[in-house]
Amino acid sequence: MSLYIGVMSGTSLDGIDVSITDFSDDQIQLVAAETYPFSEQLRRDLHQLIATARTHLHQLGQIDIALGHAYSEAINQLLDETQIPANHIVAIGCHGQTVFHAPDCRYPFSMQIGNANVIAEKTGITTITDFRQRDMVLGGQGAPLVPAFHQALFHSHNENRVIANIGGIGNITILPKDKKNLVSGFDTGPGNVLMDEWYQQHHLDLYDANGDWARDGTVDEELLDILMMDSFFGQAIPKSTGREYFNLKWLANILTQVDKAIPAKDIQKTLLEMTARSITDAITTYTEDTDAVYVCGGGSHNEVLMNALRKHLPGISVETTSKLGLAPDWVEACAFSWLAMRTLAHQAGNLPAVTGARKPSILGAIYPSNINS
């Protein structure tokens, strides 16, 4: 067995996804996976840091270390539950928590926290993090990085596929069945982030389970038109974005342009429609012969959102990645375990056709374990 651990906590801040994946004999096999909740204090600290984009260095350092401990505890808990010894794991690939993504500034950067020194020391396992920055040094967006994994796991010679990941931010990977055609992919805009934040303003829960609140709402077409006029949606690819751009402040500014009161659940339904429309517009704009769309990420559990995708993609099958053999909750965590494997093998992890980088590159910073010392 060749076991790797992947760790992912996305912009939705709904928990820490940990997977154990076996990459033996050129196969990709999920061995175990679980989601572990953030402590309420850590979730609040992360949300405030991301939402305000402001902090003191002391606070940033504390959150970075605290998140490293939270990742370590989640990893060790899964190892305990599966009774897999730490020395059976080759490495951990940890995406970290994105707190700011700035691909278009003078010195492009993407900042993920969750201290890898803590993870390597507390787990005793070599840890690989900071996957995005090398791509950005080469002129790339640093995101999305999962399309290379999508290609390795989900490519079909018989079907033109799109993998739609709907986390906090949405992104798609276009997988032509003819391997002569390049794989492409990019961020499409808000996935769950605006729906989640709007829901949290009106309810005690973190998200609209199954889209039940939105289900009772009505799309406000005037608001939807204004939302869809944002320049990001028409921006040429490659492109990426994050919560530092699409957030409640962005939404509040747009709501001031609508000269009427809109019921809260109608805004929720309109935000859901914006997510669906931005994803399906991206698919129809950049690929003309899609046979099937496979959805992963938290949005795959939103029944109303899935139905909206199907409505806008008539004649195209829309399912979750479960149909391809990997449950939608674990695709991204598995992707970062795969990227860790690529790093240790001195193989490139980025796709320049996706990110816009000048060339393929080995990604990630390696924090060796002391397990054999």
Q: What single string gives the DSSP state of each residue in 106-157?
A: SS-EEEEES-HHHHHHHH-S-EEE--SHHHHHTT------THHHHHHHH--S
Residue 287, marked binder:
no
Residue 15, marked binder:
yes
Cα–Cα distance measured from residue 270 to residue 20, given in angstroms and rounded to the nearest whole number: 37
Neighbouring CB atoms inside 10 A of 133's CB total 18
The burial of 287, by beta-carbon neighbours within 10 Å (0-12 exposed, 13-18 middle, 19 or more buried), is given as: middle
Q: Which residues contact 85 (CB under 8 A, 6 or more apart)?
A: 79
Residue 14, marked binder:
yes
Q: Token pair of 323, please?
A: 């149909």
- The sign one gets for the Cα dihedral 22, 23, 24, 28 is positive
Residue 17, marked binder:
yes
CA atoms within 13 A on the CB side of 235: 14
Residue type, 199: Y
In sequence order, the β-bridge partners of residue 234 are none
Do the beta carbons of residue 250 and residue 177 sit within 8 Å? no
Residue 226, marked binder:
no
Residue 259, marked binder:
no
Residue 230, marked binder:
no
Cα–Cα distance measured from residue 352 to residue 180, given in angstroms and rounded to the nearest whole number: 15
Residue 251, marked binder:
no
Do the beta carbons of residue 114 and residue 94 sit within 8 Å? yes
Q: Which residues contact 68 (CB under 8 A, 6 or more apart)?
A: 114, 115, 116, 117, 118, 119, 122
Q: Token pair of 23, please?
A: 């990459």
List residues forming the annotated binding site.
Answer: 10-17
List residues forming the annotated binding site for ATP.
Answer: 10-17
